[in-house]
Amino acid sequence: MRFAVIRFGGSNCDLDTVHALKEVIGVPTDLIWYRDGLRREYDAVVLPGGFSYGDYLRAGAIAARTPIMADVLRHAGAGGLVLGICNGAQIGAESGLVPGVFTRNEVPRFVCRPAHLRVETAESPFTLLFKRGDVIRLPVAHGEGRYVAPSETITRLNRERRVAFRYCDAEGQVTAEANPNGSVDGIAGVLSEKRNVLVMMPHPERASELVLGSDDGRRIFESMIAHCCRSGKD
Amino acid sequence: MQFDVIITIALKEGMLDPEARAIRNALEHLGIPTLSLSTARRVRLGLEAPTRDEAEARARECCERLLANPVIHRYEIEVA
């Protein structure tokens, strides 16, 4: 089993993500410079957080059009796992891996704080070690994290249980106060149609060790590993 | 022929514009109340194309493939 973390110009959570995967969890992981392309098969590709291309034009817009993203789309099209975190989520949405877009927060300032999330489905490679309704705590750190999509898309995402996480309070109630950015329906993470792509604004890699205050994020990576093992790719 | 193209990209009608709201508030703090305020991004580009229609089509492709996100944006193209 092998994971890839793609480093774009301006990624800044790439090394944190590699650390969580390689040192904390122990899964072999390659850090890939975006110009090098994906030169081998991977079980999972992670698009890390940061400010690729300085967020020029729109967050994630330019990274989404780099040639390595064609490799990532091919990987996803073949059923490979893709996890987009924060700027990686913006890149994932901009590249069409999931519908909708992450845009300017409702109150246009950068939010950086822990957030509670309610796990909305355990039926995905990223959440299979959770139970639906579990409340976890992961940090958010973004200025453009408000999820927007046409209402028919939101209806469809809800119907198909493709909202993986919603912002909630410590008791699991999805409230306006618990929503850090004004995302529609408190959406914090979205799955692709085939459920093999998850994009999410909160940072699981920043909550993968207790010394960091929470290791809830670790179970997302462990779910991915469990999924790959079940698929016989160990 | 060479064409000078101006593309204006704005949020669709009804989309929340947090930046515009913050700017309106700031103007209000300066004692200049406004009835409405919206923001847009202007991109100016030079294009080589056989015809004006072709230049406009190429500018449209720029918008569809990169400059605008159809989920939230509308755009206008002026070919000079």
pTM of the model: 0.95
Q: What is the extent of the structural domain holding B47?
A: 2-79
Q: What is the mean pLDDT of chain B?
A: 96
Contact B71 A106 (CB under 8 A): no
| B3-12: average pLDDT | 97
- CB crowding A63-79: b at 16 or more within 10 Å, else e: bbbbebbebbbebbeee
Residue A203 bears catalytic tag = yes
Structure confidence at residue B7 (pLDDT): 98
- Write the DSSP string, A78-138: TT-EEEEETHHHHHHHHTTSSSSEEES-SS-S-EEEEEEEEE--S-STTTTTS-TT-EEEE
Residue-level pLDDT at A233: 52
Residue A155 makes CB contacts below 8 A (sequence gap 6+) with: none
Number of domains in chain A: 1
> Does any CB of chain A come closer than 8 Å to the CB of residue B30?
no
Size of interface A-B (CB pairs under 8 A): 33
Q: pLDDT at residue B80 above 90?
A: no
Q: What is the mean pLDDT of each run of 10 residues along chain A (234 residues)?
A: 97 97 97 97 98 94 97 98 98 98 94 97 98 98 97 98 98 97 98 98 97 95 96 64
Asked if the C-beta of A100 comes within 8 angstroms of chain B's C-beta atoms, the answer is yes
Task: Exactly one of A116, A168, A205, A227 is catalytic; name it.
Answer: A205
Tell me how far apart the alpha carbons of residues B77 and B80 are, in angstroms, rounded to a whole number: 10
Subunit contact A150:B71, Cβ cutoff 8 A: yes
Quote the distance between the C-alpha of residue B69 and its chain's center: 11
Residue B74 has pLDDT above 80, yes or no: yes
- What's the pLDDT at A108? 86
Inter-residue contact A33 to A7 (CB < 8 Å): yes
Can you say how many angstroms the Cα of residue A85 is from the centroid of all Cα atoms in its chain? 3
Assign residue B13 the CATH number of its domain.
3.30.1280.10
Domain housing A88: 3-230
Under an 8 A CB cutoff, do B71 and A100 touch?
A: yes
Q: CB–CB of A182 and B15 under 8 A? A: no
CA distance B57 to chain A (A): 20
Domain count, chain B: 1
Residue range B32-59, pLDDT digits in tens: 999 999 999 999 999 999 999 999 999 9
Nearest CA of chain A to the CA of B18: how many Å?
Answer: 6
pLDDT for the residue A155 = 98
Q: State the CB neighbour count (10 A cutoff) for residue B2.
A: 8
CATH of the domain at A148: 3.40.50.880
